[in-house]
Amino acid sequence: MPFRVIGTHLRNWRKWRSYVLVVVLAYALTLAFGTLLGPFRTNLENLVFDQYQRWKPRPYNFDQPVRIVDIDDESIDRIGRWPWPRETMASLAEALAKANVAAVGFDVLFSEKDQPSEDQKACAQATVHSADQAERCEERADGDVAFAHSISGRPVVLGTFFTTTPNAAKTKLVPKGGFSFVGETPNSLLTHLNGALAPIPVLADAASGLGSLNWLPDADRVVRNVPLLLDINGQIQPSLAMETLRVAQGASGYVVKSTDAYGGSSGKSMTVEAIKVGDVVVPTQGGGDLRVWFAKTDARRTIPAWKALESGADLSDLAGKLVFVGASATGLSDVVATPLDPSTPGVEAHAQLVEQILSGVTLERPDWARGAELITSAALSLALAAILPFIPIYWTALLGCAAAAAMGYGSWNAFTAHGVLFDPVIPSLSSGFVFLAGVGHLYGQKRQQVHEIRSAFGRYVSPAVVARLAEHPEHLQLGGQQRDLTLMFCDIRSFTTLSEGFTAVELSTFLNEYLSPMTDIILKELGTVDKYMGDAIMAFWNAPLDDPAHGVHAVRSALQMRETLVKLNAGWKERAEKAGRAAHMVKFGIGLNTGECSVGNMGSIQRFDYSALGDEVNIASRLEGSSKQFGVDIVASAATRDEAPEFAWLEIDHVRLKNKTRTVAVYTLAGGEAYAGSEEFQHLSALHEDILKAYRARRFAAAKQMASDAAHLAPANIRGLYHYYQKRFEELGGHELPETWAPMIALDEK
């Protein structure tokens, strides 16, 4: 039904009020969801922004003055395993200094003393030296001193790693560059750490700069924002990238500008706006960090370390460049995850950070972005909620999708053209949730009449009937229709005696525990529960819905009910033993019959039930009653057996029901389809046929002996039938039977 019709109904104020309430509540829930599950929202935003970077990485410009000297796998193979002696690092520093680089930033942590080489040990242990040999031996005796000499007075920055664990270094590490501030001191805005792994003192004193190697990745371990400044116990420390920029320009320090949310310097809602180092001004996010826009890896920015260490190597290309020295070799673990690559060498990430700063490219998530997204979400939600009752749902959905697509385009354009990160997903999901809530409410109004029918009749008829009546209310008249049904009666044996051992509450609990699983089985097998009569259940199949396999479903239900009763008895026995009282084994009898009945709404105008009536119903009830006499739990008519011949059936006898003149064959159910195909059943079935032949030929002694043999072969559920046969055959053999005697049983009572 078009939602335009529903919109007409919503002119009623009460309906309008409920609709508005649902829409407002839905939007409030989206706000609460976004607030309470902030990490989830942030992760979703990061997925979008990371994909943007993968679609359009920052372009790499080879002319930018940033290069990498890479300690790669080949360098390790040529020079030796890591860590290299400090003499080797000194040689590398000397080579770069001779190349007139602007600055060298070591993405290497020299926090431990050098281990002397074998040559150094031999030189130190020698007892006789010439004057020149002694001088050279003294110079080589300490690799740390050699490395310190090579970097002293040169534009070299060493790396420092800050931790959350306090240590002695925190009182000794002093930044090489000074800090001045425009606005308030920004310490409280920066990431705070309180421990340091710093270069050993001889190296730290010789270096021109000390820079942080920390990345501080997000919860998913991906690096997106890099702190340019850190607060270490009240002392501000720069990053390796910033310190390398400072040293390269010969600047004495940094200027940090902090402002409040309104661009002033009142000290309220402070943020770090920018950091100036030399002639370079770096716009930052509020915490003094920079969102990195990564470029693809380009081999042109990298020189292997072994080439730089070769004698006579031409390093003229490095003149005037900012060079970062670090490792990409496998096993050194100096990698970080970025939106472009989960294993980017850390030294390359430092280099790319400087490239981005020098290129003036920014990637910004403005403070106003979340507010703009909230307003966009509210506007779209309001628009969809307003038009939804008056135009078809698919048109509203198309408009919503078009609006989401427009937001996606605007977000992509903001990223590519301005480096601004605006999330289109959260507003789209929020308005989509509001849209679905509105649709659900309107659909609920459309179904209100059906709901009223279900509420009125659901207490009196089965769920299947309710569904049919809801779709076809014209069926709510009295009367029925003739159709073939398979009927079931199930009754607990000796229930009166059993119930005497229960209190009223215990009896109610027992019946609920028994009737609930039995009813579930019937409904699962497409049956309709007609009524409960105390502990008895009446059910039928093939109404109100057509079921061509109604006989099969009824027989399967009987088998499952048999299995379920075994499990229930085990549970009741265990409970009784724990309570210290005797357990009573519950048994039931089931009667199955198939035939034509009248089925429909039976009763009065004021109250009626969906039920089945007819002679076949009475036969099913009689067969259930006969199960105790025959010593079995399931008795079925030949008509039911013919509907489901694939099961393990055994004929009991021909019986004549009360007030009936003709006899009918009745059967018991030995098992399911699997048992019917087994050799055990084939053997039992053949022996059973011989019993019936002997019985009908009046050879009662032979029939009795075969019944005794069959009792040892039969399943426990039908073993009582052969005990019944033995008693009956013994009784028949002890009397003189008239010539008119016929092999049949008269069932005179229920």
**Are residues 413 and 504 part of one domain?**
no
Whether residue 661 is contained in a domain is answered as no
Task: Look at residue 259 in the predicted model and tell me its pLDDT.
Answer: 85
Task: Look at residue 685 in the predicted model and tell me its pLDDT.
Answer: 96
E strands along 118-218, which residues? 156-163, 178-182, 191-193, 195-197, 209-212
Element (H, E) at 53: helix 38-55
Q: How far is CA 674 from the centre of its chain?
A: 39
Whether residue 367 has pLDDT greater than 50: yes
Nearest-10 Cα torsion for 427, 428, 430, 433? 170
Amino acid at 54: R
**Are residues 437 and 540 part of one domain?**
no
Instruction: Quote the Cα angle for 382-388-391, to 5°.
Output: 140
**Are residues 606 and 525 part of one domain?**
yes
Averaged pLDDT for residues 681-702: 95
Q: Of 564, 557, 626, 624, which Cα lies nearest the Cα of 592?
A: 624
Whether residue 746 has pLDDT greater than 90: no
pTM of the model: 0.56
Whether residue 109 is contained in a domain is answered as yes
Task: Look at residue 97 in the predicted model and tell me its pLDDT.
Answer: 93
**Are residues 595 and 490 part of one domain?**
yes
Q: For residue range 483-510, what is the model confidence (pLDDT) as tens digits? A: 999 999 999 998 887 887 788 888 888 9
Specify whether the CB–CB gap between 274 and 282 falls below 8 A: yes
Q: Of 634, 358, 599, 594, which Cα lies nearest the Cα of 493?
A: 634
Q: Of 275, 247, 259, which Cα lies nearest the Cα of 357?
A: 275
Whether residue 748 is contained in a domain is answered as yes
Task: Look at residue 247 in the predicted model and tell me its pLDDT.
Answer: 96
Three-class SS of 484-523: EEEEEEEEECCHHHHHCCCCHHHHHHHHHHHHHHHHHHHH
Averaged pLDDT for residues 529-546: 89
Residue showing tokens 């100096």: 334
**Are residues 149 and 99 part of one domain?**
yes
**Are residues 289 and 354 part of one domain?**
yes
**Number of compact structural domains in the chain:** 4
- What residues make up the domain containing 373? 3-56+367-446
215 phi and psi, to 5 degrees? -105, -35
Task: Look at residue 39 in the predicted model and tell me its pLDDT.
Answer: 72
Task: Look at residue 3 in the predicted model and tell me its pLDDT.
Answer: 39
Q: Which of 359, 393, 416 is the last residue before a domain boundary?
A: 359
Q: For residue range 386-429, what is the model confidence (pLDDT) as tens digits? A: 777 777 777 777 877 887 888 888 889 988 888 888 888 777 77
Residue that wins the pLDDT comparison between 504 and 679 = 679
Residue that wins the pLDDT comparison between 734 and 192 = 192
- Residue 4 pLDDT grade (very low, low, confident, very high; cuts 50, 70, 90): very low
Task: Look at residue 8 in the predicted model and tell me its pLDDT.
Answer: 38
Q: For residue range 118-160, what is the model confidence (pLDDT) as tens digits? A: 555 555 555 545 555 555 555 555 789 999 999 999 999 999 9
Residue showing tokens 């309107």: 442
The SS3 call for residue 609 is strand
Whether residue 197 has pLDDT greater than 60: yes
Whether residue 320 has pLDDT greater than 60: yes
- Residue 681 pLDDT grade (very low, low, confident, very high; cuts 50, 70, 90): very high
Q: How far is CA 248 from the centre of its chain?
A: 51
**In the chain, what is the straight-line distance between the N-terminal and C-terminal CA atoms, in Å?**
54
Element (H, E) at 641: helix 638-643
Whether residue 423 is contained in a domain is answered as yes
**Are residues 280 and 205 part of one domain?**
yes
Which CATH number covers residue 499? 3.30.70.1230
Q: For residue range 19-71, what is the model confidence (pLDDT) as tens digits? A: 677 667 666 666 666 555 567 777 888 888 889 999 999 999 998 999 999 99
Q: For residue range 590-608, what is the model confidence (pLDDT) as tens digits? A: 999 999 999 887 766 556 6
Q: Which of 326, 359, 392 is the last residue before a domain boundary?
A: 359
Whether residue 657 is contained in a domain is answered as no
Residue showing tokens 């080489």: 117
**Are residues 599 and 747 part of one domain?**
no
Averaged pLDDT for residues 513-517: 93
Whether residue 660 has pLDDT greater than 80: no
Q: How far is CA 426 from the centre of its chain?
A: 20
**Are residues 51 and 71 part of one domain?**
no
- Residue 115 pLDDT grade (very low, low, confident, very high; cuts 50, 70, 90): confident
**Are residues 695 and 595 part of one domain?**
no
Whether residue 472 is contained in a domain is answered as no
Averaged pLDDT for residues 155-168: 85
Whether residue 311 is contained in a domain is answered as yes
- Residue 646 pLDDT grade (very low, low, confident, very high; cuts 50, 70, 90): very high
Give how far Cα 250 sits from Cα of 151, 159, 278, 313, 352, Å.
Answer: 15, 18, 8, 27, 21
Q: Of 218, 213, 192, which Cα lies nearest the Cα of 45?
A: 218
Q: Could you count the other beta carbons within 10 Å of the beta carbon of residue 398?
A: 12
Whether residue 715 has pLDDT greater than 60: yes
Residue that wins the pLDDT comparison between 21 and 185 = 185
- Please tell me the chain's helix, strand, coil percentages from 3-state DSSP, rounded to the nearest 5: 50, 20, 30
**Are residues 486 and 418 part of one domain?**
no
Q: Which of 359, 391, 417 is the last residue before a domain boundary?
A: 359
Q: For residue range 227-277, what is the model confidence (pLDDT) as tens digits? A: 999 999 889 999 999 999 999 999 999 999 998 755 544 445 688 999 999
**Are residues 226 and 155 part of one domain?**
yes
Whether residue 451 is contained in a domain is answered as no
d(CA 309, CA 283): 37
d(CA 402, CA 507): 63
Average pLDDT, the chain: 84
Task: Look at residue 455 in the predicted model and tell me its pLDDT.
Answer: 57
Task: Look at residue 419 in the predicted model and tell me its pLDDT.
Answer: 86
d(CA 43, CA 55): 18
Residue that wins the pLDDT comparison between 708 and 40 = 708
E strands along 32-95, which residues? 66-71
